[in-house]
A and B are shown apart, each in its own frame.
Chain A
Amino acid sequence: MFTSTLVRCAAGILAAASLFELGLRPFVAGWNQPEGPVRTIRSYSEGFSVAHFEPDGLGTYGNRLTGNPPLAGAPEGLIVGDSHVIGQAVRDEETMGAVIERLSRAAGRPLNVRQYGWSSAKAPTYLGSAELLVGARNPAWVAVVLNAYFSINALTVTRNWRMEIAADDSYRLMDVRPPPTIGRLQKMRRQIGRSALALALWRRMGLIWNAAAYDESLAESARLEEHDPRLVEQAGRVPRITVLGLKKAYGSRLLIVYTPGFFGTDYDSAEPIEQEVLGLCIEQGVACFSTRAAMARERYDHLLLSRGFHNTAPGAGHFNATGHRIIGEEIWRYLAAHSPPAP
């Protein structure tokens, strides 16, 4: 009697797990599964997203595909940044790179855009990866997407790369990525990636823990800002070091794109670091612009927010399709105005 009850209960649990496994498949897929030249990530935390990547060892997941067919022999442009460039929550054809490709090709200028993003990356990652990126792709231009969150974080971030600034403005990059060997945890994640249900549960726990860790890291940053004058002094020099470093790393191909941290509906926030970066760019002769005006125009004239998805609060989270479109259009506008006309 007891055994048959136990068997019936186990069958019930198995049936529920199977139901969720099948139900979640269209919405959850991991980086590791299936293996192949194109990897797919599906998620439901910001919209119901499907993102494709070409794994080539650069960026967190590789080159974020644009959904446009690559043109043989066309020059390449690179977009480098953090999770906004990964753009996991927008469709391939909505990414900023896809917008640039379409506009460029429509103007008679064949172009392929590759997009490399690193989760939680700051300027040190773009500096640390520069040689590899330029060496591997030899791009015609490199657009580095920056935002307001790179001053003190560039010194304290615990993922990818971080930097240490000396008194003479020289800096040292520190690679804080985990070693490439496949550990037990990674093996486990790889196995978990086979099941949509297990992966969804893993991500949920990660989200909850990450949220807690994020709060802690904010508190830690605030504490450091308050109690570590050396770090605060160094943080004040991060924008300058970043502009100088990027200029040195990418040379004349560099284009710095500043994206203001507009959250919610208020698109009038003042960001002192934005003015500092733009001023430094002018001083150093680095191509640079901010998407502030374009985003505000879209917000007030067309009532479109640059961030947020149908299952998030308005204006919360990563850039949505509108945000990507604006950034893409602004990059293209700059490129079109500052490069020779199409043959």
Chain B
Amino acid sequence: MAFISLPFVLFFVMVLLGMCVAPSRYLRHWLLLVASAYFYFTWKHVYLLVLAAPIVIDYFCGIRIEESANPRARRRWLAAGVFSNLLLLGYFKYANFFLGSVAALAGIAPRHFEIALPLGISFFTFKAISYIIDIYRGDLAACRSPVLFATYVSYFPDLLAGPIIRASVFLPQMARSLRPAWPRAVVGVQMILLGLTKKLVIADQMAPFVNAVFADAGAYSTLTVWSAVIAYSLQIYCDFSGYSDMAIGMSKIIGIDLPENFNMPYLALSPIEFWRRWHITLTKWLRDYLYFSLPGLRESRWSRYRNAGITALLGGLWHGASWTFVCWGALHGLAIMVNHLWVARRLRRGHAPSRALAIRASCWLATYIFICVTWALFRSQSFAMAATVLHKMSGLALGGISWFYSPLLMVLPLVIGGHAVGVIAARRVGSRPITGTYVLLPLPGFAGAFLAACWLLVLLLFGGSGANPFIYFQF
């Protein structure tokens, strides 16, 4: 059941109706669980078992960790839980990648398992892992209700591509009445509309141009390839953050607040800042459960930088089973390490971060160019393709077809305007991003109706058909 489709709209409306009429909170929990299971079931029936595996294993592991007084037993239960999740992820996502890599190294013909990647496996396994680690660390009490825990892991709005919500944030909210309410619905609907606009008006409009240029980058001019990479930077941001917005909006209507996943990442002035603004829930997950778990954190600053690099490298691998993703993660890891070194060096010399506009603009440009270069690697399906794209971007390969893609110029004002609104809103409410605050229209009244109607018309007249799947579904 595609997210942007009539069946999904009907499904969501049915869920809301059910939430409204269900007489007790307990029944509403059941309804959410059944709806989530049905939602996943519609993608591929058999993978419901894959979703059920971490639910069953981590439910019991969580309870055993909490109940065990012996630290070694606790560690064993934790290891069992984490290992089972990683095994699931490793088999479905990385088995063919490692087999292929080993075969390539050994110079033998690769063998492949016939495995289709279960949707959202990277997301729900991470949710399950964070749950048992939190219990082990004593940050969370084990969930005794299998219904609540199963709902947490399989919760349909964020099941396929996040945001990765922690059990410590999700489970307490399940104690609310969970009845759809008008004020939350107003914000939720606007978040859904914002997500749809990002996806249909921007991401899906960029996709044909990006696909065409990346398919044969060597045939195009340097300027055209740069345009395609910039278009891709907009596509991937609007595609992924559009999904997050829709998930947050839907969840808000249901009655559960999902964490913010993006905070205008292309305004970042450094790679470190970029990762504080991009896929925030994954960055925090990697920081809390990987970076802090790596050895040597308190030994020296070099160990910290090394750990940051390793975390970024594994973050790259998390995105996809391909060496281009590993390389993408490694480049970001290297940039983060250099960034940390640079900041530490300046601090040692007593330099405060510069506030001069020219310096900040240079930092922004350098960061954005770096991100675009790494996106070229991220988007390429092979190193050969990436090499062609990067060669063209470097300007060393002259000539090629020049293609002016007008939708790129048309969406730029939209993106810039959206960021301007975001910056103004962030100044008003402080640095803390508040879900949906900046999209609240002044409803009701002339201005509200005017803006809402304009928004809908833009969506209807200039949006794609919604046929392009979300990019992050493949991860």
Contacts and interface: CB of A to CB of B under 8 A. Distances in A.
Interface of A: 5, 8-13, 15-17, 19-20, 24, 197, 200-201, 204, 207-208, 211-212, 264-266, 303-305, 308, 310-316
Contacts of A5: 444-445
B414 interface: no
B75 to A, nearest CB: 53
B83 interface: no
Nearest to B211: A313
A149 B212 CA distance: 22
B446 A9 contact: yes
B399 A303 contact: yes
B447 A314 contact: no
A308 B407 CA distance: 13
Dominant secondary structure at the B interface: helix
Contact of A12 (B209, B402, B446): B446
B461 A16 contact: no
B301 to A, nearest CB: 48
Contact of B208 (A12, A20, A305, A312): A312
A77 to B, nearest CB: 32
Given A265-B220, A303-B402, 19 more contacts: A11-B446, A12-B450, A13-B450, A15-B450, A16-B449, A16-B454, A20-B461, A200-B461, A201-B461, A204-B461, A208-B465, A211-B467, A264-B215, A265-B401, A266-B216, A303-B399, A310-B406, A314-B212, A314-B401
B395 interface: no
B43 interface: no
Contact of B406 (A11, A201, A207, A311): A311
A305 B224 CA distance: 14
Contact of B407 (A200, A311, A314): A311
Given A265-B401, A310-B405, A316 B449 contact: no
A242 B454 CA distance: 50
B9 interface: no
A316 B208 contact: yes
B453 interface: yes
A13 B453 contact: yes
Contacts of A204: 460-461
Interface string B422-450: 00000000000000000000001111111
A15 B447 CA distance: 10
Contacts of B420: none
B449 A10 contact: yes
B297 interface: no
Contacts of A212: 465, 467
Contact of B209 (A207, A211, A266, A313): A313
Contacts of B407: 311
B219 A265 contact: yes
A338 to B, nearest CB: 34
Given A204-B460, A310-B405, A311-B407, A12 B212 contact: no
Contacts of B444: 5, 8-9
Nearest to A299: B401
Q: Name, among A197, A305, A313, the residue most crowded by chain B CB atoms within 10 Å (CB to CB).
A: A313
B400 interface: yes
Contact of B216 (A10, A265, A308, A316): A265
B453 A17 contact: yes
Contacts of A303: 399-402
Contacts of A16: 449-451, 453-454, 457
A132 B219 CA distance: 45
B209 A19 contact: no
Contacts of B209: 313-314
A207 B463 CA distance: 11
B65 interface: no
Contacts of B405: 310-311
Nearest to B403: A314
B465 A207 contact: yes
Contacts of A19: 454
A316 to B, nearest CB: 7
Given A303-B400, A310-B406, A315 B212 contact: yes
B373 interface: no
Contacts of B448: 9, 12
B446 A8 contact: yes
Interface in B208-247: 208-209, 211-213, 215-216, 219-220, 224
B302 interface: no
29 contacts: A5-B445, A8-B444, A8-B445, A9-B444, A10-B449, A11-B449, A12-B445, A12-B448, A12-B449, A12-B451, A12-B452, A16-B450, A16-B457, A20-B457, A201-B460, A211-B467, A212-B465, A212-B467, A265-B212, A265-B215, A265-B216, A265-B219, A266-B216, A310-B405, A310-B406, A311-B406, A311-B407, A313-B208, A314-B220
B208 A264 contact: no
A68 B460 CA distance: 37
A220 to B, nearest CB: 18
Contacts of A208: 465
B462 to A, nearest CB: 9
Contacts of B454: 16, 19-20
Contacts of A314: 209, 212-213, 220, 224, 401, 403
B383 interface: no
Nearest to A317: B208
A33 to B, nearest CB: 18
A292 to B, nearest CB: 18
